[in-house]
Structure 1
Amino acid sequence: MSFPWAKHYEPKQPLMRWLDEKLPLPRLVYGAIGAGYPVPRNLNYFWNFGVLAGLALVVQIITGVTLAMHYASYSGGAFASVEAIMRDVNAGWFLRYAHANGASMFLLVVYIHIGRGLYYGSYKAPREMVWLLGVTIFLLMMATAFMGYVLPWGQMSFWGAQVITGFFSAIPLVGESIRIWLLGGFAPDNAALNRFFSLHYLLPFVIAGVIILHIWALHIPGSNNPTGVDVKGEQDTVPFHPYYTAKDGVGVGVFLLIFAALIFFSPNLLGHPDNYIEANPLSTPAHIVPEWYFLPFYAILKSFTADFILPAKLWGVLAMFGSILLLFFLPWLDTSPVRSANYRPKLRIALVVLLVDVLILGYVGGAEPIARNVIMGQIAAAYYFAHFLIILPWISRSEKPVALPHSITAAVLAKHGGTSPGHSALTTDDALTHNTALAN
């Protein structure tokens, strides 16, 4: 999608003209996040979470680089170095808590960002590449978070690494070799810490690179919006600055207040007390659990308890990875021409049920593996896959959506009493024709 009505950058000061001629960075910024980038006029606060994710990444990189200056990546000194950071480094406690809780805030923001994409159909044409790059970022984040969880070398760090890498051994023929390659040995030790620390330090910069591609891909078709209707002209847009920079500023303020409250008043709320005990290979914790943001996937991993053709352990590994990889195929599983669930009543109900299902998986992932919880996890895991592979394709073919507004402006005016939605409605057939033409 092109924006012929977008304002072009014309520097007036001599210094800015010279810089724009030699290195057009001001022009790039102006076109990416300034008045030269028009965006739909009806974006709500759910569109703040992309900026918040970028802010969280910056916090993680700054605090992580600083912590790396004081961390010792070997099994005999890792735990002691973390304790030294907390006690002896100036503001070390703040850096460590900001980094640990920043990971939780980052994942929370990204989960809401993904949820917004699912609800408003941001994965549909012509934004498939934006979605695919976003899922790639999510996978990189999960890998980075897992390796970071191992670095403090507490009991949960050690046994989490032991359990999670142990699942790779379920892969036939090459599984044990992959596990040894990941750990650099037969159990988590110096080699594993060195490898995880190196990759944990490197991957945030890889994530930053993919985010640049993500934003680049977004600027080609432009932002989606709550109606899912494409921009028709200048009347449907406003400049990103100052309208959405101001709106994002409100979101950033709320984010920082919550983040500060977490750091200063309850820094260990989302952690596990066993991780303040140094790793001991001879003492297994009573209940090994990962961080909260891995719990739904951990529940899927644990939901296979019986061998069927393949070992249960292998089924669990395949299901866990499959639950994430499934998101890559979402643009082609949902074939409805209507993007926003605001106009798809059946999809709205299905997404609410999916949210409840994911929360149940999160509970089961952190709960004791008693029979009741295991059965609950198996049902929830089955529904998770059924939603994407059965329910969503069925809804997209059978659902009769509500009539769409003719344009973004019509929807905004109707919301504020400017006109009636019925006077400017777009039928489902019109939407199919329009979106198909746009995708081609």
Structure 2
Amino acid sequence: MSEHSTYTPGNGLEKWLDERLPIIRFSKEHLMDFPTPKNLNYWWTFGAILVMCLAIQIVTGVILAMHYTPHVSMAFDSVEHIRRDINGGRMIQSFHAVGASMFFAAVYIHIFRGMYFGSYKAPREILWILGVLIFLLMMATAFMGYVLPWGQMSGWAATVITNIFAAIPVIGTPLLELLRGGFSVGNPTLNRFFSLHYLLPFIIAAIVVLHIWALHVPGNNNPVGVDVKDTKRDTLPFHPYYTMKDAFGMVLFLIPFAWFAFFAPDILGHPDNYIEFNSQVTPAHIVPEWYFLPFYAILRAIDFNILFIDSKLGGVIFFGGSILILFFLPWLDTSKVRSGNFRPMFKWFYWLFVVNFVALTYLGAAPAEGIYVLLAKICTAYYFIHFLVILPLLGRIETPRPLPTSISESVLGKAH
């Protein structure tokens, strides 16, 4: 029991439960009464939005798994069977497919918000690392899910992406054969991917709990990046102030979500994925889902040998490095100031990085020819320069603007 708890059981049943499993006390202290900075804006609602997205994916995924057949001769037809014959199947499949894109849209906003406001800086490094781990597991889960409909893009994406492992020296080929369950993409691959696609969301949910726990130790960051000085003046209880704000953010987010699911469920998919996979017919352009495109562009940009490293392994190193580098962001950014609002030089480089990331997304979908190849190389170089050169240097040469002395001062300053 907490020493500073203000919770008192309301009746005999609550008292009986509190003495045996203090779950109501826990939720009151750590969820409802949790002191939250009073200046959080709507960019901070994406944590709750992401929990909602994960819940939608798990619920719709479990229902779809009841009707899906993970076999190469039946997978494609079973998805069509779900869409055409199962009661509500078209909507459940649409919400699951659109949900993946909306989940990634929300996670990218959440990550970029964290990068701008310095939410990865001490003492929140573990919080950030757990967040990047969730992102990595999301990518693995989404990739395996994309393979399950067994359309042309599904099968060929599985072939291309699993081939990445073959470039790793010594362990690459055994790892590739273990992942595929054979020498080529086939029924064992589909079974493995279905099992892992079903399992990983529950692992993600467990890490989300750790992520929220890691958030509750130092508390929320805030738009000015100043620590809470006086709990009474600088914070508000999470409920009802932020539960209502989060709920409003979730409703707003569900509007485009519902529009896609009801009116354009297939618009984010690739037309070739509505043709059953044929290992003898290669699509003109093998393109992953939009949320993988920046990293796919980086993978393709390395088409030249680097010293003794051949282009294939070089591409894999840069592809893996582009995600792994995020784990080290708390130490690469040397500035003592958290919020980008008080860092004039950082602001310019941050928005340049955002534009560069959007450009990589576009280039990932473009054919690997002509000017697109050169632009992909330039954008890939800038991606790494931002983390390895610009951020470490900015902390040393930038003169930040003066910070407010407290959260209350920043809030009251806007009111006048």
Q: For the superposition of Structure 1 and Structure 2, which TM-score range results when normalised by the shorter chain?
A: over 0.9
Matched, 1:54 2:51: yes
Q: Which amino acid aligns with 2:381?
A: A
Secondary structure of the structure 2 residue equivalent to 1:79: helix
Q: Which residue of 2 aligns with 1:40?
A: 37
Q: CA deviation at 1:113?
A: 0.4
**What residue is the counterpart of 2:264 in the other structure?**
266
Residues in 2 aligned to 1:244 and 1:166: alpha-carbon distance in whole angstroms = 46
Identity between Structure 1 and Structure 2 (%)? 56
One of 167, 185, 188 as aligned partner of 1:188:
185
Cα displacement string for residues 374-419 of structure 1 (whole angstroms, at most 9, x for unaligned residues) = 00000000000000000010001110000000000000010111xx
In the other structure, the counterpart of 2:326 is 327
Which residue number corresponds to residue 360 of structure 2?
361
TM-score by length of 2: 0.98
Answer yes or no: is 1:389 the counterpart of 2:388.
yes
1:66 aligned residue (63, 66, 70): 63
CA drift of 1:173 comes to 2.2
Deviations along 1:181-226, whole A, 9 cap, x unmatched? 1100111111001100000000000000000000111100000000
Contact 2:120 2:127 in 1 (8 A): yes
Q: Which residue of 2 aligns with 1:436?
A: none
- The answer to whether residue 115 in structure 2 is matched with residue 118 in structure 1 is yes
Alpha-carbon shift at residue 32 of structure 1 (Å) = 2.4
- Bigger shift: 159-168 or 19-28? 19-28
Q: Report the CA distance between 1:306 and its aligned residue.
A: 1.4
- State the SS of the aligned residue for 1:48: helix
Which residue is equivalent to 1:222?
219
Provide the rounded CA distance (Å) in 1 between the counterparts of 2:7 and 2:272: 56
Residue 352 of structure 1 is matched in structure 2 by 351
**1:172 Cα deviation after fit:** 1.7
Q: Secondary structure at the match of 1:319?
A: helix
- In structure 2, C-alpha distance between the alignment counterparts of 1:371 and 1:312, rounded to whole Å: 18
Partner of 2:19: 21
Distance 2:219 2:110 in 1: 17
- Separation in 2, partners of 1:8, 1:88: 54
1:104 partner letter: S
**Contact 2:117–2:340 under 8 Å retained in 1:** yes
1:204 alignment counterpart? 201
Aligned-residue CA RMSD in angstroms?
1.1
Q: Counterpart of 2:277 in structure 1: which amino acid?
A: A
Unaligned stretches of 5+ in structure 1?
Answer: 418-440
**Who is 2:157 aligned against?**
160
1:11 paired to 2:25:
no
Structure 2 stretches lacking a partner, 5+ long:
none
Match of 2:294 in 1: 296
Which of 100, 103, 108 is the equivalent residue of 1:103? 100
In structure 2, what is the equivalent of residue 137 of structure 1?
134
* Alignment of 1:285 onto 2:279: no
Rounded Cα–Cα distance in structure 2 between residues aligned with 1:13 and 1:136 = 42
Distance 2:7 2:387 in 1: 44
Q: 1:246 aligns with which of 244, 249, 269?
A: 244
Cα-to-partner distance string for 1:221-242 (whole Å, 9 max, x where unaligned): 0000000000011200000000
Distance 1:31 1:282 in 2: 60
Hey, what's the Cα distance between the residues in 1 that align with 2:233 and 2:413? 15
Q: Which shows bigger deviation, 163-172 or 56-65?
A: 163-172
Deviation at 1:174, TM superposition (A): 2.2
Q: Which residue of 2 aligns with 1:403?
A: 402
* Offset, 1:295: 0.1
Task: Give, in whole Å, the separation in 2 of the partners of 1:205 and 1:31.
Answer: 26
- The one-letter code of the counterpart of 2:144 is M
Query: Counterpart of 1:50 in structure 2: which amino acid?
Result: G
1:305 partner letter: D
Letter in 2 for 1:344: R
CA distance in 2, matches of 1:187, 1:131: 37
Q: Given the two structures, how large is their TM-score scaled by the length of structure 1?
A: 0.92
Task: Number of aligned residue pairs: give it.
Answer: 413
